[in-house]
Amino acid sequence: MSLFAKKDLPIGIFDSGIGGLTVLRALQQTLPHEHFLYLGDTARLPYGTKSPQTVRNYALNANDILVASGIKALVVACNTATAFALEALQEKFYPLPVIGVITPGAKASLTIPENGPIVVLATEATVKWHAYRHVLSELEPHRQVIEWPCSLLVALAEEGWCEGPLVEQIISKLFSPLFASLETKPACLVLGCTHFPVLKAAIQNVVGDNITVIDPAHTVAEEVSALLTEHQLHRINQSSANTQFMATDGIERFARVAQVFLGYPITTEQVELVTVVPTIISQAKKAAS
């Protein structure tokens, strides 16, 4: 394939479901001339309740579809998949550029000129495996990091309950024991789940304007842009770009909920139903037998 043809390929975006659409939205805003191909592994979500090995298998397996479809870069828009499968994906699909969401979010938190603890709001799985703490300990070893589980916010986001007094009351109740345990004001809150950006305004209202709330999606988009520059992969053709969607199950629900995360509606006709063949798992079983 010529370099010119390669530049016109879409950027692949992978998530266990629909939360990664917030990353897609940031990418569309930062890179308006690029094509995108989004895959949500909705048949097997949530990844957060699975073992690290299962998440790795699912991510490697599902991304075979994206890579086979033809992409020029891969964004893993899922914190759990980034934590457990990023290195395996980079190794399997080398030299395809592959980027996750955790390191960009961690780097963004260190740009805040405050000395208080960094608070990461995440799902229980991301908190349990200390995904952000591991990255931040490498970037700034002595920085205090507090990871706070907020899985209930995922349900609010998917139901489209993103603003208003009731939503803010729920957020306030979730945060109450967190802030009661803090000795100093946090430097920032990192939205460590791709569902949470749709609740950013409500979260900001609860914590106040003197605490920065970081949406890693924007930092991810900036890093993807830099990556395209590094590999000379920016699309040259300035004609209108397109975005395609794929899901492994429930395309009706995918299309319905997508509007909450994208800010604009899509139809079921825009979502392709794809089937995942669990080759990696079957091979493992075959080897065991």
193 is catalytic: yes
162 is catalytic: no
- Tell me the pairing of strands 36-40 and 98-99: unpaired
| Active-site option among 150, 162, 188, 193 | 193
Catalytic annotation, residues: 78, 193
